Every structure is written in structure tokens, then in C-alpha cells.
Amino acid sequence: MSPHDAMTDAAPRSALETAPDTPAAGDAALAARLRAPLTVGGRTVPGRLWLAPMAGLGHAAFREVVEGYGGCGLLFTGMCNARAVPTERPEKSEAFSWRAGEPPRLVCQLFGAEPEHMAEGARRVQAEGFFGVDLNMGCSVSAIVKRGCGADLLRDPERAVRMVAEVRRAVDIPVFVKFRTGWSPDPQPAVDLARRFEDAGADCPVFHPRVAPDRRTQPPRRAHIGLVRAAVSIPVMGNGDVFTPQDCASLLDDTGCDGVSLGRIAVARPWVFAAWTGMVDDDPDRNPAPWREAPLALLDALARRHGPARAVRMFGKFLVYITGNFTYGNGLRGRLLRVMGRTPGSFGADEPGGLRALQDALRTELDPLPAVLRRPSALLFGM
């Protein structure tokens, strides 16, 4: 069954008080706000709820599932190495790849240490017909930071601003900048950088209000988004711990940001864009279909693009978020990992035994649907 099919049969579950809110039915005002078009760099984006760029997760197969449900205003790739992109072969690359016809609604995120490398990568992105290019100044993974990329750029504001300016001179498409509060809790450097990014030609900051060393151990400081928004005249997207429609509405209200970029919740619930924009009812009592079908749709998309063996391995990165949807998600995750652990790594496309075993296990575990959490498991989402 495809993600577009709507099932209305109720599944018996325990702990019904944990069932999610019904944003599609209950928050028409939020849905209308999120469906409003937004102009970025002279181009129109048909919505204000976007997919956040996510390394290792935001690849073409996952984006296919997201788009199958609808409601996402703009898609982003995972991190692409700016030095490799000019000669990258999309048919061989996991990050710098896309589906036919996808680039006009897709932004390519680049990471790099040198402005000239980012500019050269951006030229290739524009030549491939992408909507825009996003400069990663937010990744705080040590392997990226040690190379002078990602959040390391926030330690060197002159290089960061020069990078925006070089990319702006290189391309005509919208230029996005994903960045953080910085390396200390003081938001003023980020506010100053936002102004300088705008002056250098950036069209839209996507701002995550955490310090760079913090890998989600502390809550994001939403007030920082408001300070960045007040400092510039270009659109600002907010990001960070937005897991429910109430989180989304309060972020918009409290900060004045122009839209919201969703990461982990989109991995757990690829239909979230459709739900919060009023296209899909994701109350599990009335419509358990998305909860059951999205993991299988993802596995299918992965298998078609990468083959059964690699699909199972790639699915492992999604598992912690998918099982975080459920009250007893840690036990569910353990059972599915055991199925995946028994999967031989040598089967070929004509012997998808491991893939079938995982598909069968998912169908068994999700029908009837386990108790669903309003807010996903903090334990699993924090891994």
C-alpha cells in the first residue's frame, strides 16, 4: 500500500492517553500559516515547513517518501563535500544525487573550509538546476570541525562572510546559510554574523539556537532565533526540537521566524509535513496507515535505489527515530536490530532474504499499532 492510501480502521492499543494530537483536524490556523508562500532570493517557495539538511539521512530515497505524502515546502540534501561536487557523479554518490525532476524544489547543502571551493561547488549545483545552495556552518561533528568546515567557520567570522560573498558572486540561485549560536552561549556573535551574511548576499539563514559543542544535551535557546530574525530583513527559518504542532506554532509566535525547518521528527514521521499543513490526519486511532506504511515505503525506496543488502544497512540509521514514536520503542528497536543482525551481508539483488525478513518483522510489529507517543522518546531521539 502506498503512502497516499488512507486507512481508517482503528487499531487497538494500550496507553491511549499517549496518542498524538491531531494537527490536520485541530489546527487549521497553523496549517494555513505553513502553507503560505515565501519569497527567497526572488523565488517563491510554496510553503514554510521545510526538510532540514541531515547528513546520512536526507538522501534521495528518504526525500521520495517525504514527497509521497506532500506538504514540504522545500527539500534539502544531506551534506555534500564542496571539493568533490564539481566532478561528482550523481549515479555513484549517496549525498549528491536526486530523483528525476527533483532539483527545482531541492537545495543542495555544501560543506567546505575554503570560500573558493564552496563557490566552485555552488556553480555545479546551479548548473544541475537546483533551487538553491546551502552553506553548512552548523555541523559540530569533530571530523568535520577538525577540517575547518561546518561550525568551525563560526570561529572565523571573516572566512565565513567571505565564503558567503564568494558563493553569491558565483551563482544566481538563492543562497542559504545553516548556522548555530556559535561556540559560546552569547548570541551576539550570531546576530552580528546574520547581518554580515545578509550584506554579503545571503538570501535566507536557517538558524539552530544551540552552541556548537552541544549535541542536544541542552534545550535550544529559542530567544536567539528571535534576535537573529530582528537583525535582518531577509527570511529566517527556525530549527531545533520542534516535535509537535504546538512546538511549531509557539516557535513561530515567540521568535517571529518566517518558517520552520524539521529534522529528526521528519525522519520519524515522514508524513509530518502533510499532517501539519492539513493534508493528512495522523491520529493513529482514525488513520494508523502512515505509522505502519512509512517505514516500509522507506525500505522499498532504499532497495530500489541501492539494492536489498545496502537498503537494510541504510535503514539502520533511521531505526532509532522510527521506534522513538512508540511508548515501548526501545524494546521494539532491540527486536528489529536482532532481525537485522541475523541478516547475511552477502545476498544479492536476486536474494533479498534479509530485506524480506525486516519487512515481515515491521509488518508484524506495527499491526496492531503499538502505543504512540505525542512527543517522541527523548531517550531515542537524543542518541
List, by residue number, the catalytic residues. Answer: 139
Alpha-helical segments (H) within the chain: 23-26, 28-35, 60-69, 115-127, 142-145, 157-170, 188-200, 222-231, 245-255, 264-268, 272-276, 289-306, 308-323, 329-341, 353-365, 378-381
Gap between the Cα atoms of 37 and 330, Å rounded: 39
Q: What is the Rg, in whole angstroms, of the alpha carbon atoms belonging to the chain? A: 20
Gap between the Cα atoms of 54 and 77, Å rounded: 7
- What is the DSSP code (8-state) at residue 211? E
Q: DSSP characters for 41-55?
A: TTEEES-SEEEPP-T
**Dihedral angle of Cα 58, 146, 203, 244, to the nearest 10 degrees:** 50
* Nearest residue to 366 (alpha-carbon basis) of 258, 283, 254, 290: 290
* Nearest residue to 187 (alpha-carbon basis) of 205, 213, 207: 207
Q: Strand, coil or helix: what is 208? A: strand
Amino acid sitting at position 276: W
Amino acid sitting at position 288: P
CA torsion sign, 221 to 215 to 238 to 151? positive
Upstream peptide bond of 245 is cis (omega within 30 degrees of 0): no
Amino acid sitting at position 233: S
